[in-house]
Amino acid sequence: MPRPLIGISTYVEDSTRYGVWDVPTALVPAGYYELVQAAGGAAVLLPPDEPERAAEVLGRVDGLVVAGGPDLDPVHYGAARDPRTGPPATVRDHWELALIGAALTAEVPLLGVCRGMQALNVALGGTLTQHLDGHVDVPGVMGSHPVRPVPGTRYGALVPRDAEVPTYHHQAVDRLGRGLVVSARALDGTVEAVELADPVRWVLGVQWHPERDTDTRVMSALVAAATTRAARRTPLPVA
């Protein structure tokens, strides 16, 4: 059976220099697709598109990774902007929230990473803490800390003991979105993983950066869920 196709959200940087070129570029760190490949999946990068086309795009993949990145605009969860919240990434916000909504509707296995976990929570009506201390040690340098799994959760079954994870974030989940449960916490109590309490839909968000690690357990679980979905979905017609 072919490897399941895992879509990874990308984002546009208005000025990106490579070689002699300095042009707007859709990109994502290589660690994302490398981790998908290491876990047995095939990766495809999903550039921003019209939000109403999210369902069409997801009809062509077996699983979805929503990548990390800048702060989500607090307008999406009805909060005033904290001065420490970064500038809005409007196009990316609308596209990724549409991807998440379409994935939930179509039961596409979904992994949200850092910002992707926060966007998942907001898409389901949750809110965010706009600033917390202690999870970014040095600006521009990935830190690490242990996370503790919650027994009885999907993540807890995958990683049953405390694990040291790469981390870099100053925002976090506050009020949980509809249907989500906490499946891991940092030792200070910060929510570090959430998942949909649904035995049918495989939906998990992690606050850390698995693409900066060699531990494939979380991504392998996404790939396994995507493989199961690929085996049962109806192929798209070929023109």
State pLDDT tens for residues 45-57.
Answer: 999 999 999 999 9
Q: Would strands 143-149 and 42-46 be described as parallel, antiparallel, or unpaired?
A: unpaired
Other Cβ atoms within 10 Å of 112 Cβ, number = 29
pLDDT at 161: 97
The active-site residue, picked from 96, 135, 192, 209, is: 209
- Amino acid identity of residue 93, one-letter, is D
SS3 assignment, position 231: helix
Q: Which residues pair with 2 in a beta bridge?
A: none
- The gap from C-alpha 115 to its chain's centroid, in whole angstroms, comes to 6
Active-site residue (options: 96, 114, 169, 192): 114
Say which residue the tokens 């916490």 belong to: 185
Q: Classify the C-alpha dihedral 81-85-86-90 as positive or negative.
A: negative
pLDDT band at 14 (very low <50, low <70, confident <90, very high): confident
For the full predicted model, state whether its pTM sits above 0.85. Answer: yes
Query: What pairing do the DSSP bridges indicate for beta strands 128-129 and 143-149?
Result: unpaired
**CA-to-CA distance for 94 and 96, rounded, in angstroms?**
6
**Mean residue pLDDT across the chain:** 94
Strand blocks (E) in the chain: 5-9, 11-18, 21-27, 42-46, 63-66, 110-113, 128-129, 143-149, 163-167, 172-173, 180-186, 191-196, 203-206
Superfamily of domain 5-232: Class I glutamine amidotransferase (GATase) domain (3.40.50.880)
94 is catalytic: no
Catalytic option among 96, 192, 195, 211: 211
Rg of the chain over all Cα atoms, to the nearest angstrom: 17
**pLDDT at residue 238, as a whole number:** 42
Measured over the CA atoms of residue 200, residue 204, residue 210 and residue 215, the dihedral's sign is: negative
170 is catalytic: no
List, for residues 133-173, the tens digit of each pLDDT value.
878 778 889 999 999 999 999 999 999 999 999 999 999 99
Q: Report helix, strand or coil for 85.
A: coil
Q: Rounded to whole angstroms, how far apart are CA atoms 223 and 129?
A: 30
Distances (CA, A) of 115 to 43, 46, 151, 226: 20, 16, 24, 22
Q: Is the pLDDT of residue 15 over 90?
A: no
Is-catalytic flag, 164? no
27 token code pair: 């990109």
